[in-house]
Amino acid sequence: MVSSIHASQPGPGSSNPPWWRRSVVYQIYPRSFADGNGDGTGDIEGIRSRLGYLRELGVDALWFTPWYLSPLADGGYDVADYRQINPRFGSVDAAAELIAEANANGMRVIADVVPNHTSDQHQWFLEAVASEPGAAARSRYHIRPGQGDGSRPPNDWTSVFGGPAWTRLDDGEWYLHLFAPEQPDLNWDNPEVVAEFDEVLRFWLDQGVDGFRVDVAHGLVKDPDYIDLGDETEQILGNSRRANHPFWDRDAIHPIVRRWRAVVDSFDNERMMVAEAWVLPESYGKYLRPDEYHQVFNFDLLQAEWDASEMRNVIVTSVGKAAGVGSTPTWVLSNHDVMREATRYGLPKDTKWRVWPIVGPEEDLDLELGARRARAAALLMLALPGSAYVYQGEELGLPEVWDLPPEVLDDPVWERSSHKQKGRDGCRVPLPWTAEEQSFGFGSNGSWLPQPPWFGQYSVESQTGVSSSTLELYRAALRLRRQHCIDDEDIEMLDLGEDVLAFSRGGGLRCIVNFGPNPIGLPAHGSLILASSVEQGGVTLAADCAVWLI
Ligand code: BGC
C-alpha cells in the first residue's frame, strides 16, 4: 500500500471547530418534502411533523430552498418579497418556530437567499415597469434601450434557461434576466439594492437562521458597458474560462460579499454563508477569503463520471483548494437542479443526462447498477473531510422520475429550451413516506407533481428497519461518521490500484471504493464497519461497492 498524497488541515481551534466545517447538511425542497395541510404542496407544517425523522437520520443541519412569497415561476427562486413566507408554505412565525424546533433537535438551519434577481412580481419590479424610462425606480434593475431602432435587445446575452436574456417592456425598453423572464436581474451598482440585502440578511438572522446559501453568487455584477459576449459557449452557468466575463465571476462581487460577512459576523453563535458559485478552480479561493464566504459549493464530485481516477482528482484538488484558504471542502452528489444520482450512475459513461430523458434510448438505463453506485458514492462522500450536502430523497436511493409527461412539467427549462431539455422536475417529485397511503404519505390530497406507482418501494416506511435498505445504510453511515470522521480534517490517499479509490482518515477509518469491473481483495483490517452492499463478505470487495474499515 503506497501513500500518494497527504492533505492535513486542522481547523481553527480544531478540538472544537465551527459547526459548518464538518456538518452533514440535509437539503429540503419545501414544496416536495411533506404536505401538512393537504393542499398537494409541501409546507412548513409538514416539515415540522418530520423533524423527528431528520433527527434520527442523524444530519447536523437543514438547508431550505426558497420559501419566500413567490409566484413559483422558478420553484421559488423568483422572490416577490424576501420578508414573507409563501402562504402555501406557512408564515414567518411558523418558519421561526420551525427554526427553533430544528435547533432544539440539534440541527442548525440554513436559509436560501436569492440576490441576483427578484420575481417580476416584486414591488420594485412592478414600480420599475410602471415608471418612465430613465426613472430612478428603473435603476434597481438592468433596464436599457434596445439597439438600432430599439427593436433589437441591448446585447447578445442569452439566458441560462435558453433564449435571449432580455425581454422587452411595453414602452420599448428591455430588461435583463439571466434566468427566466419572470426573474429580472437586480442592479448591484444601485446603493438601494445593496442596503436592502443587508436588511434582508438581518431579518432572517433575527428569526434565528444559522446561515445562508447564496444563490448564483458568481453572477451579481454585470459589465457596466453591457459588452457583447460573442461566444455562446461562454454563456453556461459558470466554468467560463473567459477573463473579465461580462456577467460571471466579476471582481466587483467581492466588496458585496464582505458587507454580508460583516452583517453575519455581527450576530453570535457561528452564523455562516455558503456560496453557490460555479467558478473555475483558480477563482474559488477568492470567495473564501477570511472576510468573505465560509464555504463554497463544490460541484466537482457531482459532475465527475463514475471513474476512480476522475473522482480521485476531484478529491485531491478539492481538499487542497479548501485547505489552501483555511476552509473545508464541501461535497455534493445531487440537488434540486440535477438528475438524481441513482439514475445518473445507471446511464452509460459520458451520457449527457440533461438531455437523455428526451433522446434516450431508455434501454440504456440500468437502475440496479445506478443504485449500487449511488450507495457506494454515499459511503465515499460521507467519509470525506469537510461538509456533505445531502438532497432530500438521496437517503432513500430515490431515482429520477425522468418520464414525467410533458403536460405536468413545471420547470421553465422545458419551454425555454424549446423542449430540448425536460428540466429539473424529475428530481423534485414529492417524497414517498409510506408504501400504500394516498400520495405515499406525502399528504392527504395528491401531490403537485405526480408520483409514479413504483415510488412506494422507496418510501421511508418500506425501508425502515430493513438492514439492506439505502435508508438504513445512510443512518448507519451518519452514526459512524460521527464516531470516526469528524474529530479531524485529515485525509491520506491510498494507492490500491488504478480502479480503486481509497483513503484513510485521521482517526484510522479507511474508505475503499471499487470502480473496476472485478472484485478486489481487501487489505488487512481490524473490522469492516460498513459496506454498501450486503454481498460484501469481508475478504473481497465487489465491483461498484464501497466499504469502511477500521
Ligand atoms: C438554483 C436554481 C435556480 C437558479 C436561478 C440556481 O442556481 O439552484 O434552482 O433556477 O439558481 O435562481
**Which strand (E) or helix (H) includes residue 113?**
strand 108-113
Residue 161 CA to ligand 1 center (angstroms) comes to 10
What is the atom index within ligand 1 of the atom nearest the CA of 337? Answer: 9
Contact yes or no for 71/80 (Cβ under 8 A): yes
Contact yes or no for 45/94 (Cβ under 8 A): yes
Say which CATH architecture domain 18-116+192-470 belongs to: Alpha-Beta Barrel (3.20)
Residue 508, Cβ density class (10 Å: 0-12 exposed, 13-18 middle, ≥19 buried): exposed
Residue 495 CA to ligand 1 center (angstroms) comes to 38
Q: pTM score, two decimals?
A: 0.96
Q: With b meaning 16 or more CB within 10 Å and e meaning fewer, what string describes 41-60?
A: bbbbbbbbebbeebeebbbb
DSSP string for 301-337: HHHS-S-HHHHHHHHHHHHHHHHHTT---EEES--TT
Cis before 361 (ω within 30): yes
Query: What would the CATH number be for the domain defined by 123-176?
Result: 3.90.400.10
Alpha-carbon distance of 165 to 154, in angstroms, equals 10
Alpha-carbon distance of 68 to 112, in angstroms, equals 9
With a 6 A CB cut-off, is 411 part of the ligand 1 pocket? no
**Which stretches in the chain have pLDDT values below 70?**
1-15, 231-241, 536-537
Cell numbers placing 442: 406525502
Alpha-carbon distance of 80 to 524, in angstroms, equals 59
> Who's near 456: CB < 8 A, 6+ residues apart?
432, 434, 435, 436, 440, 462
The pLDDT of residue 309: 96
Chain segment 175-203, per-residue pLDDT in tens: 999 999 999 999 999 999 999 999 999 99
What is the atom index within ligand 1 of the atom nearest the CA of 336? Answer: 9
Residues in the chain, overall count: 550
Residue 241 CA to ligand 1 center (angstroms) comes to 21
Contact yes or no for 389/331 (Cβ under 8 A): yes
Cell numbers placing 301: 464530485
Residue nearest to atom 4 of ligand 1 (CA): 77
Alpha-carbon distance of 379 to 335, in angstroms, equals 17
What is the atom index within ligand 1 of the atom nearest the CA of 412? Answer: 10
With a 6 A CB cut-off, is 276 part of the ligand 1 pocket? yes
Alpha-carbon distance of 427 to 514, in angstroms, equals 27
Alpha-carbon distance of 482 to 474, in angstroms, equals 12
From 107, 18, 27, select the one nearest 59 (Cα to Cα).
107
Alpha-carbon distance of 118 to 413, in angstroms, equals 18
DSSP string for 496-549: S-TTEEEEEETTS-EEEEE-SSS-EEPPP-S-EEEESSTT--SSEE-TTEEEEE
DSSP-H helix ranges across 131-279: 191-206, 253-265
What phi and psi values does residue 331 have, to the nearest 5 degrees?
Answer: -130, 135
**Which strand (E) or helix (H) includes residue 473?**
helix 470-484
What is the atom index within ligand 1 of the atom nearest the CA of 78? Answer: 12
What is the atom index within ligand 1 of the atom nearest the CA of 278? Answer: 7
With a 6 A CB cut-off, is 78 part of the ligand 1 pocket? no
With a 6 A CB cut-off, is 185 part of the ligand 1 pocket? no
Residue nearest to atom 8 of ligand 1 (CA): 337
With a 6 A CB cut-off, is 215 part of the ligand 1 pocket? yes
Residue 216 CA to ligand 1 center (angstroms) comes to 7
Cell numbers placing 355: 438531455
Residue nearest to atom 3 of ligand 1 (CA): 77
Residue 127's identity, in one-letter code, is E
Residue 65 CA to ligand 1 center (angstroms) comes to 10
With a 6 A CB cut-off, is 337 part of the ligand 1 pocket? yes
Residue 270 CA to ligand 1 center (angstroms) comes to 26
> Who's near 539: CB < 8 A, 6+ residues apart?
521, 522
* Top mutation candidate among 77, 296, 336 for ligand 1, by most atoms within 8 Å of CB: 77
Q: Which residue intervals of the chain bear CATH 3.90.400.10?
A: 123-176
Query: Half-sphere exposure of residue 35, counting CA atoms within 13 Å on the CB side?
Result: 24
From 344, 402, 355, select the one nearest 377 (Cα to Cα).
344
With a 6 A CB cut-off, is 179 part of the ligand 1 pocket? yes
The pLDDT of residue 220: 97
With a 6 A CB cut-off, is 74 part of the ligand 1 pocket? yes
The pLDDT of residue 538: 75
Alpha-carbon distance of 247 to 234, in angstroms, equals 10
The pLDDT of residue 242: 72
Q: Which residue intervals of the chain bear CATH 3.20.20.80?
A: 18-116+192-470
Alpha-carbon distance of 96 to 17, in angstroms, equals 26
